[in-house]
Copies of this chain bind each other. A is one copy, B any other.
């Protein structure tokens, strides 16, 4: 019995994207789930105590990159688990990462309106990569009848002087899972205190999903305060989606909106229509179309660039088509 399990995701797709005159055509990595390789294990220490570790790295399947070379680590931690829950040290998921439960594609970088809108708003609570914290102490409670709590504190390693909390991050999540229902309340904060971020960035999200069998309905509402240097502004993001089982596959649809405090010309709307087909539990074919509708002052794209000849373009629509395969191992 080896002490280590090697696991991962190999996900690649062909994509076509348009933003104004820019047209992307090519092969990318991680459309449905981020490509990764990981090494994990646990050791039984007796009395219900366990030592756990996870070392997990991002891969760009389309490029000439090493393991974690350009996109880094997803998780690197060691910790102890017992009746008290889990305590870990290292780079770890913040509670905001797990809001992928309220996204119809499970937090797909290519096919999630919530991720598009969170990026546009500078939010760290998103179903994608915004919620991985370095230098972190993480606590996860056991489940109390379906209810669990997750808290994390992330130190900004560079801080040395009296204002030592600047750019530190914290997060708290409360989740409920029971039968067809999943719901959660998440809070995350980035400490302010310097010129780039005078005030704390504060965010919260309420998310939920209910599986009716013939359709699973998912949605979330979140607020982001003082992000991207917008002092005093509180942006709102809401999205609603559905997943309908059809044979061995699912049809996915979702619609969301960034409702910007700075005015409706800072709004973004995003929607997706996608289809996933399971060749097996481990291998899924997927295709989908994601559209971002930018107002005059926004430019959330996905596949195509925001720049033409060095000039950043605003207020155009972004169209993105993908077809690919995800294999987990």
Contacts and interface: CB of A to CB of B under 8 A. Distances in A.
A25 B4 CA distance: 31
B23 A161 contact: yes
Contacts of A77: 10, 12, 61
A89 B12 contact: yes
Interface secondary structure of A, over-half rule: strand
A176 interface: no
Contacts of A134: 62-64
A276 interface: no
A155 interface: yes
B78 A10 contact: yes
A90 interface: yes
Q: How many interface residues does chain A have, given as a range?
A: 35 or more
A288 to B, nearest CB: 16
B78 A325 contact: yes
A174 interface: no
A232 interface: no
A43 to B, nearest CB: 6
Contact of A51 (B22, B137, B161, B280): B280
A13 interface: yes
A42 to B, nearest CB: 9
Nearest to A19: B160
Nearest to A155: B26
A327 interface: yes
Interface of A: 2-8, 10-14, 21-29, 35, 37, 39, 41, 43, 45, 49, 51, 53, 55, 57-69, 72-73, 76-80, 89-91, 132, 134-137, 155-157, 159-162, 164, 279-280, 282-283, 304-305, 308, 324-327, 329
A304 B159 CA distance: 10
B45 A280 contact: yes
Contacts of A45: 279-280, 283
A7 B22 CA distance: 41
A62 B58 CA distance: 16
A90 B62 contact: yes
A49 B279 contact: yes
A30 to B, nearest CB: 11
A8 B50 CA distance: 17
Given A24-B160, A137-B14, A280-B45, A8 B308 contact: no
Given A22-B161, A63-B76, A66-B67, 6 more contacts: A10-B53, A22-B160, A26-B156, A27-B89, A61-B78, A63-B157
9 cross-chain pairs, A with B, having the tightest CB-CB distances, nearest first: A66-B68, A26-B155, A12-B89, A64-B72, A10-B78, A10-B53, A61-B90, A3-B329, A51-B283
